[in-house]
Each structure stands twice: as C-alpha cells, then as structure tokens.
Amino acid sequence: MKRILALVLALMMLVAVCAGCGADSDSDLAYVQDKGELVIGYTVYEPMNYTDKDGKFVGFDTEFAEAVCKELGVAPKFQLIDWGMKVDEVQSKAIDCIWNGMTITDELKASIDISSPYAKNAQVIIIRAADKDKYTTTESLKAAKIVAEGGSAGEKVIKADANLKEASFTPVTYQTDTLMEVKTGASDAAVVDITLAQNMVGEGTDYADLIYIETLELSKEEYGIGFRKDSDLCTKVNEIIEKLIDNGTLAAISAKYNVALAD
C-alpha cells in the first residue's frame, strides 16, 4: 500500500512540475505563437497606423508589423490603446507589444524591452500658417497655449524646455487630436513627431492651413517596438528586422510612407 501511495505521490509531483515549467512557460515568443496572433498596441497616427480614405487600415508600422507577423507565423491584431498607459498595457499582457512610432527613451528602457531602432524622428511644433511670423522660436511661445499627446515624447519635450514649460499646456488622447486643437484655435501650437507633421499638415492635406516650424527641431529621436521585460520575442523580432532590411522589404515600406529609416 505504501509503495502504491508513494507512486501516486511521485506521479502527482511530476504532473505539477510539468504543468509549472512547460517547455516554454517563460517564453513570450511561444506564448504568441501558441495563440496564433500578436496583439499590437497603437494609436491613430498617420503615417504609422491609420485608416485611409478607402477605409483600409494602413501605415508604415501597420505594414511593417504585418511583414514581421508573417515571419513569425502569426496574425497581427491591432488594438487601439491610451498612449499614456502603454507600459501598463504590455506588462499586463493586454497587448503583446507597443508598435506605433514609439520614441526610445531611457525611462522606457527601465520598464520594457525595446527593439533595435528602425526609424528616425524629431519633435517639431505645428502652428497655423497665419502665425508663421508670430511663432518662430520656443521663446515666442512662452505665453501660448500648447497641446501634445499625453505621455508622448512631445509632452516630455514641453516640460523640459525652459520656454515651453511656461506656456499653458493641455494633454490630449492622440497626436492627431492636436491638429484640430490648433486648427480651431483652441490651442496655438502642438508639439508632435516630425513624421506626422510631414504627412498630415500643409498643402494637399486635410490641414492645409497648418504648418510646422521647419527651422525648429526640439529633439532628435529614434523609434523602437516595446515588449515585456526580458522577452525572447524582442530578440526574435530583432532578427526578423535584420532580415527585412537585408531583403529590401523595410526600405520599400519606408519609401511608400516617407519615413526615414534609422542608420
């Protein structure tokens, strides 16, 4: 009887061990591949992720993510998020990665893993074309009403700049919201990514009456993809990025959406 009991206990322990430390229990890559989809956190931001005039979801990051998912053997699932909550979203597994023109910062590196840089960026100031002579420097904006996406690199730049931090600042949910704020006069200026400014304001756009101050770049940055800390998925995606660079896929997407690739 004791031998039978001992055997049963041994089997129970073996089952518990196997259940607790399956072949890839700590593998983000296995987790994503097992469920067959990569949940991608994004915000509406042309030219990175947006819906075109034909109702199709497109963009540089959209096509980039689709190409990576093809290599991973999973389907991309794009999930709209509050950008200010992006780290919480990925850490809680509500999403698997943050992929939407995310500026690489030391602060983010402390909380999440970030892919190799894949695109260049800078923070610039959007104003009404009628104000082009009024606003030319950050000092000229000290008394202005300024807007930026909450939790974005733009907000950080505003709070760090000696002149801009004296202005009246309002955070909004998405970068694209800042354009309407300036257009309607609710705000005088917006701090946004240059990739957005180059594609969404000026002649031939829906915001033809807006411009960005081309002589004033507040910071130079690079974009990366955010993953959970110590994620093997990040390592795998970096390998795929190198492949997409080598075979010309990323360059083709870059040319299509006018996004400058990282060096």
**89, pLDDT greater than 50:** yes
CA gap 250, 94 in Å, rounded: 27
Which domains does the chain show, CATH number per domain? 24-120+222-257 (3.40.190.10), 122-221 (3.40.190.10)
CB 179 within 8 A of CB 207: yes
Structure tokens at 38: 């990569």
For tokens 């009456």, what's the residue? 209
Segment 2-27 shows an average pLDDT of 47
* Owner of token pair 């101050």: 213
Ramachandran class of 101: left when φ > 0, alpha when ψ lies in -120 to 50, beta otherwise: left
Residue 4, pLDDT above cutoff 80: no
pTM of the model as a whole: 0.78
CB 164 within 8 A of CB 146: yes
Instruction: Tell me the pLDDT tens digit for each residue of 145-199.
Output: 999 999 999 999 999 999 999 999 999 999 999 999 999 999 999 999 999 999 8
Nearest to 219 by CA among 182, 257, 189, 193: 193
Alpha carbons 28 and 13: distance in angstroms, whole number: 26
Q: What is the pLDDT of residues 204-246, one digit of tens each?
A: 999 999 999 999 999 999 999 999 999 999 999 999 999 999 9
CA distance 64 to 140: 39
Asked if 118 and 134 count as a contact pair (C-beta separation under 8 A), the reply is: no
Task: Give 29-48 pLDDT, tens digit per residue.
Answer: 999 999 999 999 999 988 99
According to DSSP, the β-strands at 119-128 and 210-227 are antiparallel
The answer to whether residues 122 and 157 touch, using CB atoms and an 8 Å cutoff, is: no
pLDDT of 13: 43
The predicted model gives 73-94 an average pLDDT of 96
Give the H or E element holding residue 66.
helix 60-72
Helix spans in 81-215 (H): 86-91, 106-109, 153-160, 175-184, 194-200
DSSP class of 259: -
What's the mean pLDDT in 90-110? 96
pLDDT on residue 2: 43
- Burial pattern 200-210, b for ≥16 Cβ within 10 A else e, equals bbbeeeebeeb
What value does the mean pLDDT take over residues 128-142?
A: 97
Whole-angstrom Cα distance, residue 220 to residue 123? 7
Supply 7's token pair. Answer: 């055997």
Give the H or E element holding residue 76.
strand 75-80
Three-class SS state of 191: strand
Q: Are 62 and 51 in contact (CB under 8 A)?
A: no
Find out whether 47 and 259 touch, Cβ atoms under 8 Å.
yes
Closest CA to 207 of 220, 196, 191, 218: 196
